[in-house]
Chain A
Amino acid sequence: MRIVVCMKAVPSTTEVRMDPVTHTIVRDGRQAVVNPFDASGLEVALEIRERLGGHVSALSMGIPDTVRLLRDAISRGADDGLLLSDRAFAGADTLATSYALSRAIARGGMPDLVVCGKMAVDGDTAQIGPELAGALGMSCVTDVREIEHVDEGHITARRRRDGALELVEAALPCVITVAKDAATPRMPSIAGVRRGEAGTVEVLDAEAAGCDPARCGLDGSPTQVVRSFVPERSATAERVEGTSAEQAERIEQIVEGMAL
């Protein structure tokens, strides 16, 4: 079983402060971490390999520093890592991202299974998994909560869909996107850490990955941000003053007045 796990580097906190003077976003050089859903995705892949044997590769498109996270994936048990890193990839929207990742995945033959996180916490688009499936001509199961069964030809998984849990079966090759409860990521062992340090993370630029530069990064992105702005808010709220008890009394009045 050949499995590719897509792992994205995201800011360690999705909270961002606004500088009160310049009104710009301030980030305090916090290190990127692996998207938490992707950490579960790696664990799902490792558990499948433990049962069926095979090979697990961790794949990311990101800045050079992302090598660190792929080494960490190796220390947890991935067989190898592949990083797509090139300024030509910069500014990619979901179409350009899925294009580059799909080229890297298809390199050296189609894997049996591609595992993505349900979403990246810094963008929450949840588009890459289904787009990869479309680009690779694979079927797709999103928001997987539990893998019920995998064999050489099929995967059976429980997925969440609009308030219901569905048990579905897909033929391999297939893309799945996983929620956190699909698996709890293991910690690296000491031997694992050494393996991570020694392990191979191949770094490819767009050309080496066989990507058409016109379909990568900004150039390959149909969508464009034309404007970003801080939304205006009217500050017309009534101030409810006083002690907690007085405030509670006033809230009670307001609620009463609404005749709900």
Chain B
Amino acid sequence: MSGLSVNADKCVGCGICVRTCASEGIEVAGRKAHVTDSCISCGMCVDACPVGALSIEKDAGAGADLSAYHDLWVFCEVDDGALAPVALELMAKGRELADARGCRLMGVMGQADATDADANAQALLSSGADGVIRCVDGRLRTNDAELFARWVCDLAETRRPETILYGATDFGRELAPQVAVRLGTGLTADCTVLEMDVEQGLLQQTRPAFGGNLMATIVCPTHRPQMATVRPGVFQANPDAAEKTAACGGATDVSPHGAVEDVALEAGLEPSLRVLGREDATGGDSITSADVLVVVGRGIGSKKNLPLMRELAELLGGRLGCTRPLVEAGWCDYSCQVGQTGVSVAPKLLVSVGVSGAIQHLAGIGGAERVIAVNEDPAAPIFGVADHAVVGDAVEVVGALVERLRARV
């Protein structure tokens, strides 16, 4: 059977695996480790075992005929006629991966109105797409995940892409799993690094793992397409591409080489949900576009220190972001959460205050040009990514700084 196995010859019964395990899946009896019914095959103990006595075996499943799959697709979300920025970010990354693999890069785009459909396709082509598969149909207006999933699955079943990337927007995060389950294939959420194994065409999908300060690289060896979602802001769009698009100003002749293919949506398909109303909930612009950000963590001590931190952000002409625990405590809105499962930011200056620098948080600040970190613990991991390390008390340092800045205005 597949699962964790213990090599009794190697095992020295040290018990490190037992301490590593979160599910009581392994125990030591008679100086040897034994797997229990509670093992969830997470592999934590395999990494921890100092003598290499543990391994996870997997029966090589019969997979699809991989050689029948070609091309890398980027699913390109359109909201109210406008291409989502993450589509262009994925195009830039997709171009790199497709070049490494020596395959074509295709944009897959569906939208309700013909207006801007050409400009959107053109934007994808100038961002590096070799072609665009496009569907313009009024039924796509509400970005209904189920309807889109059926459409993408139809396309994928006949054309067999090797890889599909999705932006991890709320819509993308609904769509991608619905495609994955229908195609019976793998999906890795919120990747922060994507690389192509050139020989086998295996997409190496790296993301923070299991809540630990660990990264994991995940592959999908026997199923196709291999699929991943990526949060907006994790990759950079190609800046030249935007210019090119602007220059062509939404020209109508988008397919000089027949690169845009219009496909029809199956007749019987209808949206699964009815959208009855919609109201904006962000209240002002998001922190993703700010040039200066003050990001606060649990080290600010208490909610009553938030106004001081906000004042610092205002004095610096910036905005306030936070770590996940502050959102969970209800101190800040989720839209302010910076990290793997919040937003990715790319300010010119990021002042990080009382933030430990957990891997899930760091996943969201890679784009910051300069980081000043304040933390009382000289060993805090945030200092590993900071340009300026301020070892000190959050409130004292920020208090003194705010006083100085106030004096200047």
Decide if B8 is an interface residue (CB 8 Å cutoff). no
Q: Which of A43-51, A105-113, A233-241 contacts B (4 or more CB under 8 A)?
A: A233-241
Segment 244-277 of B: residues with Cβ below 8 Å from A: 272-277
Q: Contact mask B10-32 → A, CB, 8 Å, 1/0?
A: 00000010011111110000000
Decide if A91 is an interface residue (CB 8 Å cutoff). yes
Decide if A187 is an interface residue (CB 8 Å cutoff). no
Q: How many A-B residue pairs have CB under 8 A?
A: 296
Please determine whether A91 and B37 come into contact, CB atoms closer than 8 angstroms.
no
Decide if A2 is an interface residue (CB 8 Å cutoff). no
Please determine whether B178 and A134 come into contact, CB atoms closer than 8 angstroms.
yes
B401 contacts across to A, CB distance below 8 A: 248, 251-252
Decide if A150 is an interface residue (CB 8 Å cutoff). no
Decide if A41 is an interface residue (CB 8 Å cutoff). no
Please determine whether A164 and B213 come into contact, CB atoms closer than 8 angstroms.
no
Decide if B301 is an interface residue (CB 8 Å cutoff). no
Q: Which of A23-31, A52-60, A74-82, A190-198 contacts B (4 or more CB under 8 A)?
A: A23-31
Decide if A202 is an interface residue (CB 8 Å cutoff). no
Please determine whether B279 and A165 come into contact, CB atoms closer than 8 angstroms.
yes
A122 CA to B405 CA, complexed, in Å: 41
Please determine whether A27 and B276 come into contact, CB atoms closer than 8 angstroms.
no
A210 CA to B174 CA, complexed, in Å: 27
Please determine whether A255 and B189 come into contact, CB atoms closer than 8 angstroms.
no
Rounded to whole Å, the gap between the CB of B145 and the closest CB of chain A is 7
Size class of the contact patch on chain A: 35 or more
Please determine whether A167 and B3 come into contact, CB atoms closer than 8 angstroms.
no
Please determine whether A25 and B219 come into contact, CB atoms closer than 8 angstroms.
no
Please determine whether B388 and A240 come into contact, CB atoms closer than 8 angstroms.
yes
Please judge, given known A-B contacts A126-B173, A244-B392, whether A168 and B146 are in contact too, CB under 8 Å.
no
Please determine whether B43 and A124 come into contact, CB atoms closer than 8 angstroms.
no
Q: Which of B2, B188, B362, B404 contacts A248 (CB 8 A)?
A: B404
Please determine whether B189 and A126 come into contact, CB atoms closer than 8 angstroms.
yes
Rounded to whole Å, the gap between the CB of A193 and the closest CB of chain B is 25
Segment 213-233 of B: residues with Cβ below 8 Å from A: 213-223
Please determine whether B188 and A139 come into contact, CB atoms closer than 8 angstroms.
no
Decide if A93 is an interface residue (CB 8 Å cutoff). yes
Segment 108-164 of B: residues with Cβ below 8 Å from A: 145-146, 149
Rounded to whole Å, the gap between the CB of A154 and the closest CB of chain B is 9
Those 9 A-B pairs whose CB atoms lie nearest each other, nearest first: A91-B41, A233-B384, A222-B186, A248-B400, A134-B181, A223-B186, A63-B38, A24-B48, A139-B272
Report B's interface with A, CB cutoff 8 A. 1-4, 16, 19-25, 35, 37-44, 47-48, 50, 56, 58-59, 61, 79, 145-146, 149, 169-171, 173-178, 180-182, 184-190, 204, 209-223, 272-282, 286, 291-292, 316-317, 335, 340-341, 348-349, 351, 359, 362, 370, 372-373, 381, 383-393, 396-397, 399-401, 403-405
- Give 20 pairs: A residue, B residue, CB < 8 Å, sorted on A: A15-B211, A91-B2, A98-B177, A122-B211, A127-B180, A128-B177, A130-B173, A139-B272, A163-B280, A163-B335, A169-B273, A219-B59, A219-B61, A222-B223, A224-B221, A227-B217, A228-B47, A235-B384, A237-B384, A238-B389
